[in-house]
Amino acid sequence: MAKLSIGQALRISWQSSKRDWRIWLLVSLIFMLANLPGAIFDLNKVDVFSFQSLLWLAVGLVIMALFSPGIQQNGLLVARGSVPTIQTLTGQFKLAGKFVLFYLLYALITTLGFIALIIPGLYLMARYSMTPFIMLDNPTLGVAEAMSQSSKLTKDKIWQLFVAYFVIGITYMVLATASGLILGIFLAFFIDGNTVTNLIISNILFLIPSALIMPFSTVGPASIYEQVKSQPTTVATADPVTAAAV
């Protein structure tokens, strides 16, 4: 079994950061608009259960759900040697419901796994990690069927996947932390006071570093998927988690 190339995933991500920064800047802007109202309400100490807080929370979740398939589809395009586009970003809304259902199931399954002494949670997280990409490649598949295919695709590759996701995740976290520290020091010198205006300014300033590190969380996993998909798989038995859902 060929080893997964983590270096290739990181290299493609960095190349996309430099080449495709405009589209990732747009993605970062979408994330900012989805999360900014909640941050403003928190700054103003608005009750989290108030109508306006719950309304903007719902709006933010809808925005994230609608754009999540397009963001990951753009990651696939880059991993396959193409370039991300605005049309792709906005052309996958029809899959939003499936993505929401999958991530709810994914959170439930992995949470139960983590409760069972952590290791099962890591195992399940890697086992079903290919599901979003499988749904993008096969839009007519149901969530349970896509999860079953992910389970078969990742069989015998769990350890490699765990290491790959760990390294990609650490790289993303280091870059995000470094960016946050540099921006925080800059803001401490030039912006005085914790106000809504300053919050908006800091979010706008963070768009640039956010755009540069975004591909590591989108292109990186997509590159791993492409590598896994290209490797031969052994015949797998019926998946116990999704069998009941089919």
Distance of CA 191 to the CA centre of its chain: 31
The SS3 of residue 177 is helix
Closest-CA residue to 199 (of 210, 187, 208, 209):
187
**C-beta separation of 150 from 129 below 8 A:** yes
Q: Write down the residue that tokens 């009750």 correspond to.
A: 47
How many Å apart are CA 2 and CA 18, to the nearest integer? 29
Contacts of 119 (CB under 8 A, 6+ apart): none
3-state secondary structure 80-95: CCCCCCHHHHHCCHHH
Write out the two tokens for 67.
Answer: 């754009």
Q: What kind and span of H or E run contains 160?
A: helix 158-190
Q: Which residue, among 55, 59, 45, 69, has the nearest Cα to 132 in the 3D structure?
A: 69
Q: Which CA distances in Å does 236 have to 1, 22, 120, 146, 219? A: 16, 42, 19, 15, 28
Q: What is the pLDDT along the chain (246 residues), one digit of tens a residue?
A: 578 899 999 999 999 999 999 999 999 998 888 877 777 777 667 676 777 777 877 888 888 889 999 999 999 999 999 999 999 999 999 999 999 999 999 999 988 888 877 788 888 899 999 999 999 999 999 999 999 999 999 988 999 999 999 999 999 999 999 988 888 887 777 776 677 777 788 888 888 888 999 999 999 999 999 999 987 665 444 454 544 444
Q: For residues 76 and 133, is the Cβ–Cβ distance under 8 A? A: yes
Q: What pLDDT does residue 168 have?
A: 95
CA distance 167 to 105: 25
Nearest CA-CA partner of 179 in 199, 153, 204, 208:
208
Count of Cβ atoms closer than 10 Å to residue 93 Cβ: 12
Per the structure block, which two tokens stand in for 102?
Answer: 């999958």
Tell me what pLDDT residue 13 has: 96
